[in-house]
Amino acid sequence: MPRSFLVKKPSSTRAPNYGQLETRRQEINGACHSCGGLVFPILIPNDSVPSTPWDSSSLIARVSLPLPSDGDTPSTDPRNREISLVDTLTGQAPGTPLKDKRNNLNLPHRRPSDPGSPAEGDRGARDKVQGGQDRAAEPLERFECFDCRKSYHTFSGLAKHRQLHCLQARKYFNCKFCDKEYGSLGALKMHIRTHTLPCVCKICGKAFSRPWLLQGHIRTHTGEKPYSCSHCSRAFADRSNLRAHLQTHSDVKKYHCRACSKTFSRMSLLSRHEEVGCCPGS
DNA sequence: CTGGGGATGGGGCCC
DNA sequence: CGGGCCCCATCCCCA
């Protein structure tokens, strides 16, 4: 059905609250050169708390980052300690200090062997990521592809390899909250709002995923009903409800039972009609 | 059981 | 690419 009935209204000045998204985005630091997919490793020690709304696990490679050759200052931020990122867009070598460009922060490398090092606490998580092997026993750092287990000596080699995966397979963006998949990051972001619910009603505190949902909700407080029926004097706060109402005026209902030819104004009514056994053969 | 209203979720399309 | 708007669908509740 063509959707040419869009009605342009004065645009809202309300800026959506992307606060939650923004803070989470800080933990992702790159994209595939060829497809824009996320290709960087994120070591997450706490499985119970999703570090990013979108699940890049199908895209990222599992890698072991080389440790710095000289003494980097250990981070005092426990969040930073759990993240190891490499920016191939800048071509930065894994051994060089990492930088979170968004926050202008250097992301620390870790020395698991440092006594009292904050990194010591997440040793188990790192070992889990690496299949339980003791890093201290590894003679050489490896960069391993998460998908095919192919290993590379350099991260750039792995990055190039990952691009092949991105080209070969259609890129998907997974929601970390519910495992839904989307073909574009925009669609995923839209979906993520159903989890973060950034639009909050100032009157009752109820949260919604989109501004216009909140707008409709606010009408329940104000009593505003801008959609009125042309057949009767009834008015509605929601256009969809008016449309459903208009069906009640129609002699020919939109939904009809295939068994008894009875018609209904709503799909839900037809479904309920069929569920209670009108159509035992169907 | 049925009809209908109220409220809301979510994907698609247009700007 | 994001915001706004649309429709469809669904659930809940009540008469």
DSSP readout, A51-91?
SSSEE-TTTPPEE-PPPPSS-PPPPS-HHHHT-----TTTT
Burial (CB count within 10 angstroms: exposed 0-12, middle 13-18, buried 19+), residue A142: middle
pLDDT the model gives residue A142:
67
- Kindly determine whether the C-beta of residue A3 is less than 7 Å away from any atom of nucleic acid strand C: yes
The nucleotide lying nearest A18 (C-alpha to C1') is: C2
Distance (Å, whole) CA A143 – CA A149:
9
pTM assigned to the model = 0.47
Q: What are the pLDDT digits (tens) for A185-216?
A: 777 888 888 888 888 888 888 888 888 888 88
B8 C1' closest Cα residue: A213
Residue A224's contacts (CB-CB under 8 Å, 6 or more residues apart) are A237
Q: Which nucleotide is nearest to A191 (CA to C1')?
A: B10
What radius of gyration, in Å, describes the C-alpha atoms of chain A?
27
- Nearest by Cα to A63 from A154, A136, A132: A154
Question: Which nucleotides of chain B have an atom under 7 angstroms from any protein CB?
Answer: 1-15
Measure CA to C1' and name the residue nearest B5. A241
Containing H/E element for A152? strand A151-152
What torsion, rounded to 10 degrees, do the Cα atoms A182, A186, A191, A196 define?
140
Q: For strand A105-107 and strand A227-228, is the pairing parallel, antiparallel, or unpaired?
A: unpaired
Through-space separation of residue A9 CA and nucleotide C2 C1' in angstroms: 17
Residue A16: CB less than 7 A from any atom in strand C:
yes
Residue A221 CA distance to nucleotide B8 C1' (Å): 15
Q: CA A21 to CA A26: how far, in whole Å?
A: 9
**Could you report the per-residue pLDDT of A214-245, keeping only the tens digit for each?**
888 888 888 888 888 888 888 888 888 888 88
* pLDDT the model gives residue A212: 85
Intervals of chain A under pLDDT 70: 1-142, 145-148, 159-172, 277-282
pLDDT for A8 equals 29
Å: A162 CA to B7 C1': 46
Q: What is the pLDDT of residue A202?
A: 84
